[in-house]
Amino acid sequence: MPPSIIWCRGVDGLHAPRVQVETDLSPGLPRFTLVGLPETEVKEARDRVHAAILNSGFKFPDGRLIVNLAPAELPKESGRYDLPIALGILAVSNQLPASAKERLRTYEFAGELSLSGALQPIRGAFAMALSAGGAGFVLPRASADEAALAGVGEVLGADSLLEVAAWLAGRGELQSGSARAAAQPVVFPDLADLKGQAQARRVLEIAAAGEHSLLMYGPPGSGKSMLAARLPGLMPPLSDAAARESAAVLSLAGRFDPSQFRARPYRAPHATASAVALVGGGSPPRPGEISLATQGILFLDEFPEFDRKVLESLREPLERGEIHIARAARHATFPARFQLVAAMNPCPCGWQGHPNGRCHCTPDKIRQYRSRISGPILDRMDLLIEVPALPAETMAQTGGGEASAEVRARVAAAREKQVARQGMVNARLEAGHVDEYVAMSGQAVQLLQQAAARLDLSARSWHRIMKVARTIADLAGSIGTEKNHLAEALQYRRPFSES
Ligand SMILES: [Zn+2]
Domain spans in the chain, listed from the N-terminal domain onward: 4-176, 191-405, 429-499
User: How much is the pLDDT for 138?
Assistant: 96
Cα separation, 334 vs 332, in Å, equals: 7
Question: What mean pLDDT, rounded, does the chain reach?
Answer: 90
Q: How far does residue 342's CA lie from ligand 1's centre (Å)?
A: 19
Confidence of residue 297 (pLDDT cuts 50, 70, 90): very high
Q: How far does residue 366's CA lie from ligand 1's centre (Å)?
A: 7
Better-predicted residue by pLDDT, 178 or 499 = 178
Confidence of residue 153 (pLDDT cuts 50, 70, 90): confident
Q: How far does residue 56's CA lie from ligand 1's centre (Å)?
A: 65
Tell me the C-alpha to C-alpha distance, in Å, between residue 34 and each of 16, 68, 75: 21, 6, 15
Can you tell me the mean pLDDT for 434-453? 93
- Contact call for residues 21 and 111 (beta carbons, < 8 A): no
The yes/no answer on whether domain 429-499 falls in CATH 1.10.8 is: yes
Q: How far does residue 166's CA lie from ligand 1's centre (Å)?
A: 69
Going by C-alpha positions, the residue among 41, 25, 167 that lies closest to residue 112 is 41
3-class secondary-structure state, position 12: strand
Q: How far does residue 277's CA lie from ligand 1's centre (Å)?
A: 30
Better-predicted residue by pLDDT, 407 or 145 = 407
Q: How far does residue 493's CA lie from ligand 1's centre (Å)?
A: 23
Alpha-carbon dihedral sign for residues 444, 446, 447, 449: positive
Q: How far does residue 360's CA lie from ligand 1's centre (Å)?
A: 5
Q: What are phi and psi of 148, to 5 degrees?
A: -60, -30
Residue 182 has pLDDT above 60, yes or no: no
Can you tell me the mean pLDDT for 252-274? 90
3-class secondary-structure state, position 348: coil
Tell me the C-alpha to C-alpha distance, in Å, between residue 47 and each of 5, 76, 86, 212, 472: 21, 17, 11, 51, 62
CA angle 374, 199, 299 (to 5 degrees): 45
Can you tell me the mean pLDDT for 115-122? 95
Q: Which residues, in sequence order, are bridge partners of residue 342?
A: 215, 300
- Contact call for residues 4 and 96 (beta carbons, < 8 A): no
Confidence of residue 496 (pLDDT cuts 50, 70, 90): low
Proportion of the chain above pLDDT 90, given as a percent: 61
Confidence of residue 400 (pLDDT cuts 50, 70, 90): low
Cα separation, 68 vs 44, in Å, equals: 16
Cα separation, 315 vs 28, in Å, equals: 59
User: How much is the pLDDT for 218?
Assistant: 92
Burial group, residue 73, by CB count within 10 angstroms (0-12, 13-18, 19+): exposed
Better-predicted residue by pLDDT, 325 or 204 = 204
Kind of pairing between the strands at 112-113 and 155-158: unpaired
Residue 184 has pLDDT above 70, yes or no: no
Please report which helix (H) or strand (E) contains residue 332, including its range.
Answer: strand 330-335
Q: How far does residue 352's CA lie from ligand 1's centre (Å)?
A: 5
CA-atom Rg of the chain in angstroms:
27
Q: How far does residue 465's CA lie from ligand 1's centre (Å)?
A: 30
Q: How far does residue 346's CA lie from ligand 1's centre (Å)?
A: 7
Cα separation, 331 vs 338, in Å, equals: 21
Q: Where does 4-176 sit in CATH, by number? A: 3.30.230.10
Bond from prior residue into 348 cis (ω within 30 degrees of 0): no
3-class secondary-structure state, position 311: helix
Cα separation, 494 vs 346, in Å, equals: 14
User: How much is the pLDDT for 460?
Assistant: 82
Can you tell me the mean pLDDT for 7-21? 88
Q: How far does residue 386's CA lie from ligand 1's centre (Å)?
A: 15
User: How much is the pLDDT for 328?
Assistant: 67
User: How much is the pLDDT for 396?
Assistant: 62
Q: How do residues 411-439 score in pLDDT, each as one tens digit?
A: 999 999 999 999 999 999 998 999 999 99
Q: How far does residue 363's CA lie from ligand 1's centre (Å)?
A: 9
Q: How far does residue 455's CA lie from ligand 1's centre (Å)?
A: 26
Can you tell me the mean pLDDT for 19-33? 94
Residue 233 has pLDDT above 80, yes or no: yes
Report which listed range, 67-76, 108-117, 121-130, is most confident.
108-117
Q: What are phi and psi of 491, to 5 degrees?
A: -60, -30
User: How much is the pLDDT for 499?
Assistant: 42
Cα separation, 481 vs 415, in Å, equals: 16
Q: How far does residue 361's CA lie from ligand 1's centre (Å)?
A: 4
Going by C-alpha positions, the residue among 240, 221, 140 that lies closest to residue 181 is 240
Can you tell me the mean pLDDT for 95-107? 92
The yes/no answer on whether domain 191-405 falls in CATH 3.30.420.240 is: no
* Residue 143 CA to its chain's centroid (Å): 18
Confidence of residue 152 (pLDDT cuts 50, 70, 90): confident
- Contact call for residues 241 and 212 (beta carbons, < 8 A): no
Reported as half-sphere exposure (CB side, CA atoms, 13 A), residue 267 has a value of 27
Q: How far does residue 358's CA lie from ligand 1's centre (Å)?
A: 7
Cα separation, 352 vs 179, in Å, equals: 51
- Ramachandran class of 250: left when φ > 0, alpha when ψ lies in -120 to 50, beta otherwise: alpha
Of 224-228, 341-345, 454-458, 473-477, which range is least confident?
454-458
Better-predicted residue by pLDDT, 331 or 301 = 301
Confidence of residue 289 (pLDDT cuts 50, 70, 90): very high
Q: What are phi and psi of 172, to 5 degrees?
A: -175, 165
Report which listed range, 113-117, 351-355, 459-463, is most confident.
113-117
Confidence of residue 180 (pLDDT cuts 50, 70, 90): low
Residues with CB under 5 A from ligand 1 (ion): 347, 349, 352, 359, 361
* Sheet order of strands, 31-35 included: 31-35, 64-70, 18-26, 4-9, 107-109, 136-140, 155-158, 175-176
Q: How far does residue 384's CA lie from ligand 1's centre (Å)?
A: 20
Residue 224 has pLDDT above 70, yes or no: yes
- pTM here? 0.86
